[in-house]
Every structure is written in C-alpha cells, then in structure tokens.
Amino acid sequence: MKKYQLTVTTREGTGRSASRRLRKAEKIPAILYGKHTKPETLAVAAPEFVKLLKEIRGSAALIELKRDAGATALSFLQEIQRDPITDRYLHLDLQEVKENEKMIINVTIHTVGEAYGVKTEGGILETASHRLRIRCLPKDLPAFIEVDITELKVGETIHVSELKALPGVEFLDDKHQAVVICVEPPAEEVVETPAADAAAVPGAEGAAAAPGAAGAAPAAGAKPGDAKAAAPGKGDAKGAAPAAGAKPAAPAKK
C-alpha cells in the first residue's frame, strides 16, 4: 500500500477565532484522533493539502504525518469539512492507525466493465452503495473496491455477499445490502390525441337539431322547407290572414 506524506504543525488555541486566523494564513485546522492517545490539534498548509488530494484522487490512502518536532504518525482521512458556498476547506479529521492493528475505514466502490443489461437490454446501471466499510491491517488496505458488472442483466443486483474476496479484508456492511443494480429503462409515455368529433363539441348536437331561426321548432307533419311559409318575415304583417272569426275592417271614409 502506497503511503503519502503531509506536514502538520501543532495548533495553539481553539475556537472560531483561532480557526479564522489559521484560514487567513492559508492553513486548515485539523485534529488527529488516536486509539491509544488523546486527540491532538494540528494545522495543515492548504496548498500542500490540495496537492495531496489530487494525488489520492478519491482513493483510500494511508498518510504519514510529519510533525514539526520530527515525530511521525500513520493516519488516514476520516472527514473533510468544506464551506458549501465558497468550497473552501474548513476542517480535517485524521485517524491515527498502527501498522500491526486492524482499522475500520470506508472505501469507495469502482465498477469494472460494461453491464450486459446496459449494453444489450437497454437497462440503466444504478450504484446503490458508493462506499463500503471494511476492516483490515494498514498493509492490506485497497485503494478501491472493484466490482465486476460485466454479467449483470436487467433486474439483477450485486450484493455485498457477492463481492470478490480480498486478502486480509473483511466487509462490515450487511451481506444482503445492494451495491450495484441494473434496472429497466423507464417506459415511454404514449400521448393520444382525441378525435375531433361532433359529440365532443359542446352545443354541436343542439345546433344540428335546430337549423334556421333560433328556438323555432317545425310543426308536426311539416315538410322540410316549410319553415319560411309558416313564419312570415318582418314587414309581412299587412298581408297576414285575419284570425278566425274576426270581422273585416271597415273601409276608410273619403
């Protein structure tokens, strides 16, 4: 297992004010936890730490801390705190380990190959567990946990119990925990356009049933086209037939 180096200095003072002063000086507040020692407050040069992260590239790594007093300590990064707005490093948690003692650490998952279900069946690959907890000696620490997905078909899942055994490494997560899943592609939605039919148009039925004058209903037995004869137009009042039983109007006097 490759070891990386990081120079640290003893940090004087704690609290927000002391931490702000360190950050202004391009340093990151840190703390080193140890199984057999008390927590130790440290400071790390920000440029050196950024360079270290680029070398590690997300892998699990052992870091040899070089103190200003000359003593060294073997550790790994337990947690990194960053500002969600500026993305600036705020604080580091380091865990000290011993060469002859097993440690518990989270290691990132790396998939290897192209899933059969994705390549042939149009499925979608989903990573259910991005990191797994393992127990091992520092010398047996893997940089990543590789998962071969070549034979994974649609509807199938790779669980912790199915992972390839690694020498000296013990998986601590539940053996039934899903790691990688190949799921079916989402079904395409078919949008149907309703047919333009008279029955679907409001008022269409009434309009067809009563042609001509609005609200005029033909008399029983009337033939088509008799509507004009039955209903005299405007100005026809003089020519209208007198009602039954009415006397004819007297002629006008000269």
CA distances from 71 to 65, 66, 75, 251 (A): 8, 6, 13, 141
Q: Quickly state the pLDDT bin for 79 (edges 50, 70, 90).
A: very high
State which CATH number among 3.30.420.40, 2.170.120.20, 3.30.70.1070, 2.40.50.100 fits the domain covering 104-183.
Answer: 2.170.120.20
Lowest-pLDDT range, 105-119, 135-149, 183-197? Answer: 183-197
Query: 3-100 belongs to which CATH class?
Result: mainly beta
Using the predicted structure, report yes or no on whether residue 106 has a pLDDT greater than 80.
yes
CB atoms within 10 A of CB 179: 23
Q: What is the pLDDT of residue 211?
A: 47
Q: Which residue, among 135, 157, 132, 156, has the nearest Cα to 146 in the 3D structure? A: 132
pLDDT at 75 > cutoff 90: yes
Question: Which of 12-21, 131-140, 178-187 shows the highest mean pLDDT?
Answer: 131-140
Phi, psi of 61 (to 5 degrees): -140, 145
Instruction: Label residue 208 by pLDDT band (50, 70, 90).
Output: very low
- Token digits for 247? 């006397």
Domain boundaries, the chain: 3-100, 104-183
Percent of the chain surpassing pLDDT 90: 59
3-state secondary structure of 49: helix
